[in-house]
Structure 1
Amino acid sequence: MVKLLENKVGPIINLKDYRQFGLQVYDEILSVAEKLQGKSIFHINATPQGGGVAELLKSQVPFEKAVGLKSYWLSMANVPPSFFTVTKKIHNLLQGKPGLLNEEEKNLYFSVNQELAASLKDFCDQFPDGLAVVHDPQPLPLIQFIPKNFNAIFRLHLDVSVANLSVMDFLKSLIEKYKLVILSNEDYFISLPWIEESKRKVIMPAIDPLSEKNQPMDIRAANAMLEKFNINPLKPLIAQVSRFDAWKNPLGTVQAYYSAKKEIPALQLVLLGLLLAIDDPEAVTVFEKIKKHARGDPDIHLFADPAEFAEISNETFVNAIYTASDLIIQNSVREGFGLTVTEAMWKNKPVIAGIAKGILMQIEDGENGILAATPEDIAKNIVKLIKDKISREKLGRVAHESVRQRFLLPRFILDNFKLYASLKSKIWS
């Protein structure tokens, strides 16, 4: 049966551990949180793992609980794969891909969300009132079934600045029903001109510096871990950590690697994109294409199946990749924000990235990272940075500091809490 299931988050966090990342922000969080004590909020998204939304919620919800909110996270369960094929198409159309939804696809999109209505009602009936935050297009139609005593926010994480107008017209009547629409970049509202100014909000995402993946790791431990997978710590290593998605352009990264390898024969490449997100059915197809391009090169290491390193947590393995790499590539064509860019920068790594709007929010070319428009540009900068350790380290230091100032979890939490507090009288009795 299709339904919404609550994700059990944990462990309980110690708020004081976050004071080190900015005392002023920390104190302000506690001050605003006093106005929100005991209030009910629930987040709804497609899947409990894989992708940036799940990454945010697994830190955001425990933090909200820790300050006294009744915060919950619900995800879809037992959904037919055909539904996620449709929502992936919607995702692609929202990011500018040409095409149209047919009537069968539209009907499936609505019917699955209608099936979710019963479990949504069961959950909401436990509370006198509250706030629902609906994340991304998959559960968007649930606005039709959220009880009147709840108010709803639509949180869209994609870059929709060049959205396909046909899909935006299709979704318009649903989006307009929400009290607020939150995007990651003001520029993205260009495709939603019918959203009145008072309903527009911008909150940039952030990473949790205390998550397992983002904490410091000893380079020797990282190298020892990767040696078990035939990655040589004595040879230069570059990596792209992201889903196997055409918008992330991993094929272009492979092309850049092959070009750079002509000048740096010992170069190694890791592509890490674990196939965890059930809402991304295209990932397997993209991964198979990459395998064909990489076949026969022992210096290309592809990781898609978590079972390959079953004795190591996913987060620890990602941490080891970041730690051991000389630089990180994020060759995205579209990026709503790009948390893997943020993660790499936090790890003091220089990032060579595609010119996507979400990345432009984070990287100032030549100052805290490198922007590159083509595989040839990426290759040229790979060669330059691999040969210049001083420049690599300087870019990495500046990158880390820019994340510390702008893109850590406490700032993100404060932005959300201020929003909740501003709506308090309109949401909670």
Structure 2
Amino acid sequence: MTKKIHTFLHGVASDGSEISRSERNEYERTMARNATALVDTVKGNDVVILHDPQSTGLVSALHAHGTHVIWRSHVGLDQPNDIARAAWDMLRPYLDEAEAYVFSRRNYVWEGLDDSRVHIIPPSIDAFTAKNRDLTNDEVAHILSVARVFEDGKATADIDGSARPVHVERKVHMSGSPIPPEVPIVVQVSRWDRLKDPLGVLDGFVRHIAPKTDGYLVLAGPAATSVRDDPEQPEVLAELETRRTGLPPAIRDRVRIAQLPMEDEGENAIVVNALQRHATVVVQKSLAEGFGLTVAEAMWKARPVVASRVGGIEDQIESGRSGILIEPDDLERFGSEVAALLEDRARAEHLGTEAKARVTREFLTPRHLIKQGRLVLSLIE
């Protein structure tokens, strides 16, 4: 049900079905159980921020408890269709008692909501978390060696910093052998989700990047064993593995499908950090996107990014200045832009520098917290 609501709000009914009355009843029963547990943890006049559509069923119970409820949605569709509207129609009645609605973009605001309660606050990244904190080149190499992304893997790594230290010991499960550290790599980090289009990235690499460059492709996502609430992810991962196996050996040897350990959040985050920092080019070829903070994460690390012109990605990248935007179905343009950056390192470096400056100005936590703080104060004053 969680996955179905998510895909409906992106305008996609992956199984071709509607949200049934029985599914809605199950949703309401689940929300009632969760609400009973949640109200015991808050007091009257507290401010509770509920995130994403799946939480709408908690609004009424929290309001009845005397709390101020802000509901925030991170997903949306630039041009809503009947599938998205069906999800809105199901969820909208649960939102009547929320005092504020927060969306990442004006285009994502649902039809039928009270516009006086609507606020637009883009999301942000925290520069000091394990996923985004600065790493030296030696630390990047050490982390990726321990994780067996690189050859000659070391046993463990302990990375200190302003946040809590991170211990790295688990290995990335990777199709193919470890990557030589000196080769250029193209990286996409995402869930194994059709909306992230990892199969399209693979096809674009095979057809339009591999023949022109000596680059490698790394498609990175969660370990299959960690995905329990999304039956589609193992299917997509299996399709990728099958597609890779069928490639000519010379190209197959330059494609890696990397399943990242998820047991320790900090360890996973620091491996993603190192992988993005080592990337020659980062891509995000999504077919639909709420905001796409993996783009901001890569930009913060001064990586050149080639990404789809969809959703919040458009708000982050100024195409041609702080990255490159392409139409999500244009594989040839996608491939040519990535190949050009692999060959023109000076331009890639310039785009990366501008990308970091863009995130510094617009998408770091302090700016986000100021806007959110003003909203909270407006409710309690």
Q: For this structure pair, what is the TM-score category when the shorter chain's length is used for normalisation? A: 0.7 to 0.9
Indicate the residue corresponding to 2:30 in structure 1: 112
**TM-fit CA distance, 1:421:** 1.0
**TM-fit CA distance, 1:198:** 1.1
Indicate the residue corresponding to 1:372 in structure 2: 326
Deviations 1:257-280 (A, max 9, x none): 11210111x321111111556543
**TM-fit CA distance, 1:138:** 1.8
* Preserved contact between residue 100 and residue 167 of structure 1 (Cα < 8 Å): no
Equivalent runs, 1:14-413 vs 2, <5 Å: 86-98=1-13, 99-124=17-42, 127-146=43-62, 147-161=64-78, 162=80, 164-189=84-109, 192-224=110-142, 225=144, 226-227=149-150, 228=153, 230-259=178-207, 260-264=209-213, 266-275=214-223, 278-295=228-245, 297-306=252-261, 313-373=267-327, 374-413=330-369
The amino acid of 2:371's aligned partner reads D
Q: Indicate the RMSD between aligned Cα atoms, in angstroms.
A: 2.0
Q: Which runs of 4+ in 1 moved over 3 A?
A: 275-281, 309-312
SS at match of 2:37: helix
Separation in 2, partners of 1:104, 1:193: 25
Q: TM-score, normalised by structure 1?
A: 0.74
SS at match of 2:319: coil
* Preserved contact between residue 335 and residue 357 of structure 1 (Cα < 8 Å): yes
Indicate the residue corresponding to 2:165 in structure 1: none
Separation in 2, partners of 1:210, 1:310: 17
Q: 1:364 to 1:383 in 2, by over 3 A?
A: same
**TM-fit CA distance, 1:311:** 12
Higher RCO (CA 8 Å, separation ≥ 6 residues): 1
Separation in 2, partners of 1:128, 1:339: 33
* Preserved contact between residue 114 and residue 142 of structure 1 (Cα < 8 Å): yes
**TM-fit CA distance, 1:282:** 2.2
Q: TM-score, normalised by structure 2?
A: 0.83
Q: 1:232 to 1:311 in 2, by over 3 A?
A: farther
**TM-fit CA distance, 1:174:** 1.1
SS at match of 1:145: helix
Separation in 2, partners of 1:366, 1:342: 16
Percent of residue pairs bearing the same amino acid type: 30
Separation in 1, partners of 2:370, 2:41: 27
* Preserved contact between residue 154 and residue 178 of structure 1 (Cα < 8 Å): yes
**TM-fit CA distance, 1:93:** 0.6
Separation in 1, partners of 2:6, 2:333: 28
* Preserved contact between residue 159 and residue 358 of structure 1 (Cα < 8 Å): no
SS at match of 1:367: coil
* Preserved contact between residue 334 and residue 358 of structure 1 (Cα < 8 Å): no
SS at match of 2:222: coil
Separation in 1, partners of 2:106, 2:200: 28
SS at match of 1:213: coil
Separation in 2, partners of 1:87, 1:312: 25
Deviations 1:241-300 (A, max 9, x none): 111111111111111111210111x32111111155654342222211111112262322
Separation in 2, partners of 1:131, 1:316: 32
Deviations 1:166-188 (A, max 9, x none): 22111121123311110000111
| Unmatched segments (≥5 aa) in structure 2 | 154-176
SS at match of 2:235: helix
* Preserved contact between residue 237 and residue 269 of structure 1 (Cα < 8 Å): yes
Q: 1:207 to 1:277 in 2, by over 3 A?
A: farther
Q: 1:312 to 1:170 in 2, by over 3 A?
A: closer
* Preserved contact between residue 70 and residue 102 of structure 2 (Cα < 8 Å): yes
**TM-fit CA distance, 1:160:** 3.4
Indicate the residue corresponding to 1:422 in structure 2: 378
| Unmatched segments (≥5 aa) in structure 1 | 1-85
Separation in 1, partners of 2:302, 2:24: 45
The amino acid of 2:269's aligned partner reads E
Q: 1:234 to 1:305 in 2, by over 3 A?
A: closer
**TM-fit CA distance, 1:220:** 3.7
**TM-fit CA distance, 1:316:** 1.5
